[in-house]
Amino acid sequence: MKKYLVLVAGGNGTRMGSSLPKQYLHLHDQPILLHTLKTFIAAFEDVHIILVLPEAYLTYTKEIFAEYDFHYPVTYVIGGETRFHSVQNGLSIITDGGIVFVHDAVRCLVSADLIRRCYEQAIEKGSAIPVVPMKDSVRMIDEYGMNHAVSRNALRLIQTPQTFKTEILLPAFECTYQESFTDEATVAEAYGQKVYLIDGEETNIKITSPVDLMIAESYLKNKNII
């Protein structure tokens, strides 16, 4: 079955305090983006990569790939106004059936094992949304500014790659954008599809701040030692 990766790399460096978008910052001697791409290729050597990125960084990305001798075939797509529109643009070039992964480029610690598990479950159930349990206590603030405790046992933190059969996700993304669309699962649900969760990984963090970058650097360093 064909495998497609829609890799969303449209972030900027605002919270990182950098003028360079996060996916291009160096982690363990190479850009974050390359770590992510290489893990997907390690999981599946036949994955079709669709890289969604800002138009202003198209040439820069190609230069980065050349500098680091990354020659795996990549289809470039320009991102949209929101994540929804960026993913929609990426999905629009898929014409054949298969399994599609939608992943954040800055979740560079994702493992090949999680990718493969998502693939297998998506074949079986139609979708695989990685999640991890909440560790902290949680409180909800209502419309009146009052707060109350919420049981964390019923809550999960969402990760990527959110993985679907193309026959589910492609028609779902033909809809009009809504503010409630925070990820691919919410779009699929709005289309009337049930989504299925799968155990994610604590290490599959999203690099959004300098602290995240330090954590990722430490993890990769220790991983290589082990």
Q: Closest Cα partner for 163 from 193, 200, 125, 127?
A: 127
Q: What is the mean pLDDT of residues 46-72?
A: 97
* Contact indicator for 89, 95 with CB cutoff of 8 Å: no
HSE-CB of 192 using CA atoms within 13 angstroms: 3
Report in angstroms the alpha-carbon separations of 11 from 64, 119, 168, 215.
17, 25, 26, 19
Spatial separation of the C-alpha atoms in residues 217 and 195, rounded to whole Å: 33
* Contact indicator for 90, 77 with CB cutoff of 8 Å: yes
Compute the mean pLDDT over every residue in the chain, rounded to the nearest whole number: 94
Q: Which pLDDT belongs to residue 17?
A: 56
Q: Which pLDDT belongs to residue 18?
A: 64
Spatial separation of the C-alpha atoms in residues 53 and 75, rounded to whole Å: 11
**pLDDT of 219 higher than 50:** yes
Going along the chain from its start, the domains and CATH numbers come out as 3-225 (3.90.550.10)
**pLDDT of 223 higher than 90:** no
Could you tell me the pTM of the whole model? 0.94
Q: Which pLDDT belongs to residue 225?
A: 46
pLDDT in tens, 126-142: 999 999 999 999 999 99
* Contact indicator for 173, 87 with CB cutoff of 8 Å: yes
